Chain A
Amino acid sequence: MFSYVLRRLLAAVPIALGVSMVCFGLVYLAPGDPVQTLLPPDADAETVAQLKRLYGLDRPLAVQYLSWLGRVLSGDFGRSIATGRPVAEEIARSLGNTVLLAGLSVVVAFSVAFALGTIAGRRAGSWLDRCVTGVAVVGVSVPNYWLGIVLVIVFAVEMMALPASGMAGDGFDPTSWEHLKHLVLPVITLSMIPVGIIARTTRSAVSEVMNQEFVTTLRANGLPEWRVLRHALKNALPPVLAVMGLQFGTLMGGSILVETVFSWPGSGFLLSKAILTRDVPVLQGTILVLALIFVLTNLAVDLVQSSVDPRIRRA
């Protein structure tokens, strides 16, 4: 087990390097010059060149990348062009909020979807199964920014039961209803797609496992149905975990629209602001951190999977 963990960790290093290159390079592929947004449109060439020198944008790309990588490795992501504050600080503040939102959404989605998928998978083909499949299809198909807006209109504007945007204040206090209230609508909105995807994966995994021979063996040995189901769920878990991990990664990066709809001060919100202002250091830093979280999530999923299924460790 230990050597498996070590191998997986080592394999993640080149992936992380590749990710950093892509993050750095992508920003340069996008049209437009970041310096331009800082200066008035009629700024002369001399000023532009000066500013470029100031940010090191006049050096060759490879040199820029290496010096950026060196600084990033020591925790220095540079300063935001828009606010002038250190990027690391901006990311740290917003990332916590996004992890809170995405993490909670995935946990909620997993609990709901695993239960739904198990019910459907045990009775594949029944009307219950068809209901769950229907719910899953709807969950996956509804665009989440649209759902967010609808929820805001219904619960915040019409019923005035829940807040429409923002957090209750800096920091998060899980014992305060005021803080929790702000999470309800964004979490529902964000968990809708993962509920659909995880429910479908669980359903097919459970129904496949329930048709395997060993389930007959368990019954043939007089085990009660709940014990049979426990064996089946343990077998169905690895693929579901994999999908859940992917969903967490997607939510971490993919909550831009939802965070914007709810003005949730997370990394997606930060990212969307940085895109609008062409704040390159913030863009690079945020994308890199989100991508690394994606890589780490996958690594964590692999490790959890292999602890559930001993056959994976050999591969």
Chain B
Amino acid sequence: MQPLVEVEDLSVDFVTRESRVRAVNGVSFSMMPGEVMCMLGESGSGKSVTMRALMRLLPPKRSEIGGRIRIAGQDVLAMDDRALRRMRGGVVSMIFQEPMTAFDPVVRVGDQIAEVVAQHRGVSRREGLRRALELFDLVRIPSAERRLQAYPHELSGGLRQRAMIALALSCEPKLLLADEPTTALDATVQIQVLILLRSLQRELGMSVVFVTHDLGVAAEIADRVAIMYAGRIVETGSVREVLRSPLHPYTSGLLGSTVHDQPRDRALETIPGAPPDMRALPPGCSFAPRCPQALGECASGPPPAVSPAPGRVARCLRVAAPQQPEYA
């Protein structure tokens, strides 16, 4: 089977007249059809930028994308406007963190979905609305017919996010990028939306990249996790193995600072220090200044990706490398 997504050595630079900041640096991963990957990492580590780069949604004048992105056999970075429009929504779609601001506030929700369906399938608005109704049923929005007529501000946060999912799924994409889709919701609603996403993923057999801060969520829905730090993926592997026996000290730190599965009497450990300044990264491992196990060599150059076991990759000098990784 061919991978659905192949990303090789992806880099994203934000350029202004005065400065150039590398927000994503040498990210590589691949995903098989139907696979669910979670991206974890601190705020500012480049998760959203990576997602947006996959759909070429970054501001074209202020950003530069390097490396290779292939989705469903097509070279995304070489696409012209038409091919991009067909890919966006048709092959890959995205759910955003803030459902309140992600809809056009002055257009009825149903019409917004119908417009996208009409655009991709070349059908009438009316046909598009019929599809929107199907989708509202699919994402289990009660009184779907009436809700289609609602403006975004008339829906609750949970319903809005369901409508957002309906919009994203409207043209049956093969890959769904979910950028913290539950962060803005109440805890109980979060779980409902999560359960919905998982069951839809199984029903429709899509691949999903799920960005989250929450290890519990990752353990719940992902097949694989990728841990990002300062624009790099520092560790990937199957969710069970990474959570059970992390290779990278940063991953261990993340596991130690989570509320889940900790004895109540033990104090939560936080990772010492602050996230790095992306404009002035250290020459070696970006995590070295905060790393409890840092060696002298860590500061000399970025550690290469090593794969100590099949399916596992980490970028840390302390990890022994019995075999070369497929994707570095």
| Residue positions of A touching B, CB distance < 8 A | 212-214, 216-224, 227, 231, 234-235, 308-311
CA distance A226 to B85 in the complex (A): 12
Residues of A with C-beta under 8 A to B120: 222
Interface string of B129-168 (1 = CB under 8 A from A): 0000000000000000000000101000000000000011
**Is A213 touching B153 in the complex (CB atoms < 8 A)?**
no
Nearest Cβ distance between residue A28 and chain B, in whole angstroms? 47
Nearest Cβ distance between residue A66 and chain B, in whole angstroms? 46
**Is A220 touching B55 in the complex (CB atoms < 8 A)?**
yes
Q: Quick one: given A213-B101, A227-B119, A311-B151, are A221 and B167 in contact (CB under 8 Å)?
A: yes
Interface string of B90-132 (1 = CB under 8 A from A): 1001101010011111110000000110011000000000000
| Residue positions of B touching A, CB distance < 8 A | 55, 57, 84-90, 93-94, 96, 98, 101-107, 115-116, 119-120, 151, 153, 167-168, 170-171
**Is B116 touching A214 in the complex (CB atoms < 8 A)?**
no
Nearest 6 CB-CB pairings of A with B: A222-B89, A222-B88, A221-B89, A213-B101, A222-B85, A221-B116
CA distance A234 to B151 in the complex (A): 14
Residues of A with C-beta under 8 A to B55: 220
Nearest Cβ distance between residue A153 and chain B, in whole angstroms? 45
Residues of B with C-beta under 8 A to A214: 101-105
Contact of A234 among B96, B107, B116 (CB under 8 A): B107
CA distance A216 to B103 in the complex (A): 10
CA distance A234 to B85 in the complex (A): 22
**Is A222 touching B98 in the complex (CB atoms < 8 A)?**
no
Known: A220-B94, A222-B87, A310-B153. 15 other contacts (CB 8 A): A212-B101, A213-B102, A219-B57, A219-B88, A220-B57, A220-B88, A220-B93, A221-B88, A222-B89, A222-B171, A223-B89, A223-B115, A234-B104, A234-B107, A235-B105
Residues of A with C-beta under 8 A to B102: 213-214, 216-217
**Is B96 touching A231 in the complex (CB atoms < 8 A)?**
no
CA distance A276 to B89 in the complex (A): 68
Contact of B89 among A212, A220, A235 (CB under 8 A): A220
CA distance A191 to B102 in the complex (A): 37
Q: Choose among B87, B103, B116, B120 the residue with the greatest number of A CB atoms under 10 Å from its CB.
A: B116
**Is A217 touching B85 in the complex (CB atoms < 8 A)?**
no
Residues of B with C-beta under 8 A to A219: 57, 88
CA distance A255 to B61 in the complex (A): 45
Residues of A with C-beta under 8 A to B86: 222
CA distance A162 to B214 in the complex (A): 73
**Is B105 touching A222 in the complex (CB atoms < 8 A)?**
no
Residues of B with C-beta under 8 A to A224: 85, 119
Residues of B with C-beta under 8 A to A235: 104-106
Give me 27 A-to-B residue pairs in the complex whose CB atoms sit less than 8 angstroms apart, sorted by A's number. Answer: A212-B101, A213-B102, A214-B104, A214-B105, A217-B94, A217-B104, A218-B104, A220-B57, A221-B88, A221-B116, A221-B168, A221-B170, A222-B84, A222-B89, A222-B116, A222-B119, A223-B85, A223-B89, A224-B119, A227-B115, A231-B107, A235-B104, A235-B105, A235-B106, A310-B106, A310-B153, A311-B153
CA distance A218 to B101 in the complex (A): 12
